[in-house]
Amino acid sequence: MGSPILHESIANLELPDLITGHIAGLPVLPKTPAISLPVRYPGSGETIASLQEDDATQVATAVAAAKARFESGEWSQSTIEERQRVLRATAQAIRTHANDLALRESICAGLPFAHLAARQIPRAADNFDFFADYIGVLAGETFDQLQEYRTVITRHPVGVAALFAPWNACLALSSMHVASCIAFGNSCVLKPSEFSPLAVLQLVHLLESAGLPSGVVNIVNGRGAVTGAALAQAEGIDRIAFTGRGDTARNVMSAAAERLTPVHFELEGNSANIIFDDADIDRAIDGALVSAFGNSGQICIAGSRILVQTQIAERFIERFVARTETLRVGDPLDSTTEVGPMGFAEHQQHVLNFFTLAENTGANLLTGGRAMPELGSGYFVAPTVFKVLDNHSPLCQEEIFGPVVTIQVFEDDEEAWAIANDSRFGLVGYCWTESLHRAQVFQQKVQAGTLWLNTPIARDLRAPFGGFKASGIGRDGPRHAADFFTEEKATIAALGKPAIMKIGMGQ
């Protein structure tokens, strides 16, 4: 191994040579012949394990196991108190094993260990606690307005969900889908990214140790074109929740349309971060750095299009670039690292390709714009800032998904709103201003599902989260999860013996 820290960490984890799926409480048996995929540590490019790819046969087995468990009623008809107990025990187990989970995620995805341990792993635990609380207060509805009748609305679990989790926050995002799915009594088949399978697999072990019946949550592994396609097309799937790229989502939606399966998508973004001339510039710089380079820039909610007003542009750009150049890039297992490597080699090349596009479209490179071979054979990209002349640059119109920022200068408020909305995406938006009027207009005019005002990323789990336009379909959130993962049933009962129209009485 190239890194002493990595060598010690992997030794402590006791990783299997072959990582397999998990169906009905048991690991999927190794197949012969089988397709195995390398799982590499992005900090050095070293292979740390192999992943067995599941085909349509294993996917069908997983769906059947989830269906059988659902129909048994052991979980789907369990009491709210029992589901709460399991969800809360899982949350506690995640906190107890936080360092282990963060390490498993870090060595697969290359995300800084310190960031995972401080933010993403605690969020995963919070997701289970949150839905344990929510199902305890979720109420049905009763309508008595129809004279002589009472209408009662009840919710029922839908069945089996197919859940797709991306590599950039695999545990955090899969935990949201799993917690909201099983809280209402459903079963599921989860396909994590083939690049980051370890922490999610450990999460399922923790769930079952907390008392979740085997078969409620199952895991299949592999590439999207193989395992993912088989899962999206599988008979017996009642809901599909997918987080990832838009082109893949279109394929999933096409497969779902064959069976009219409802879908929930959280997709891409390239979000505007508007800095007005009356902003607290120190806070705006701090917030812009966090929103752009947090998670090594590999985050759909990155504020990667910075729009700064003319009056403060020179001062902001100078200070922002200087701070960008001090970001600590390196081994994600080092506690001081702020920006880690890209998740895998192909994604590093995807990010680097934008630098060629930038040169060809007249963007002005202010810092970065290169790989970092001096850090070894890992998939590192230098934190990068471009100044662009207009929003038509591909750097502004596509999701780069790396530590890359564009800066545009605007004159007045209307120009800022127009640039912010000049995008096929609409996931989030940021704004920095001390003006109440501007803040209110920002809320009204910017076309995005979540808006952050004078703050970088913050999440209230009670609020809906999702995107406008090509950034998604549906919302995460308690009420929205209840609507997606349950079916509503209306039962209309007579009170007493209201009159019934008589027919078939002859002459």
Query: Quick check: 179 and 171 in contact, CB under 8 A?
Result: no
Distance (Å, whole) CA 216 – CA 138: 22
The contacts of residue 12 (CB under 8 Å, 6+ apart) are none
**Residues of 417-441 as b/e, b for ≥16 C-beta within 10 angstroms?**
bebbbebebbbbbbbbbeeeebbeb
Annotated active-site residue in 208, 266, 268, 399: 266
Rounded to 10°, the helix 80-96/98-109 angle is 70
* Cα 227–chain centre separation: 19
Place of tokens 């498993």: 104
Cα–Cα nearest to 199, from 76, 320, 105, 68: 105
Strands (E), 1-109: 18-19, 22-23, 26-27, 36-41, 46-52
Q: Phi/psi of residue 5, each to 5°? A: -65, -45
Q: What is the DSSP letter of 119?
A: I
Query: Quick check: 271 and 305 in contact, CB under 8 A?
Result: yes
Distance (Å, whole) CA 350 – CA 346: 6
DSSP percent split of the chain into helix, strand, coil, nearest 5: 40, 20, 35
411 is catalytic: no
Residue 356, both tokens: 């060629």
Distance (Å, whole) CA 244 – CA 250: 11
Order of strands, sheet of 305-309, starting from the edge strand that comes earlier in the sequence: 364-367, 384-387, 404-410, 305-309, 272-275, 428-432, 450-453
Computed from CA positions of residues 243, 247, 252, 254, in that sequence, does the dihedral angle turn out positive or negative? positive
Annotated active-site residue in 108, 181, 188, 300: 300
SS3 of 142-180: EECCCCCEEEEEEEEECCEEEEECCCCCHHHHHHHHHHH
266 is catalytic: yes
Q: Is the peptide bond before 33 cis (omega within 30 degrees of 0)?
A: yes
The contacts of residue 13 (CB under 8 Å, 6+ apart) are 100, 103, 104, 107
Q: Phi/psi of residue 37, each to 5°? A: -110, 135
Distance (Å, whole) CA 35 – CA 18: 11
Q: Which residues are catalytic?
A: 266, 300
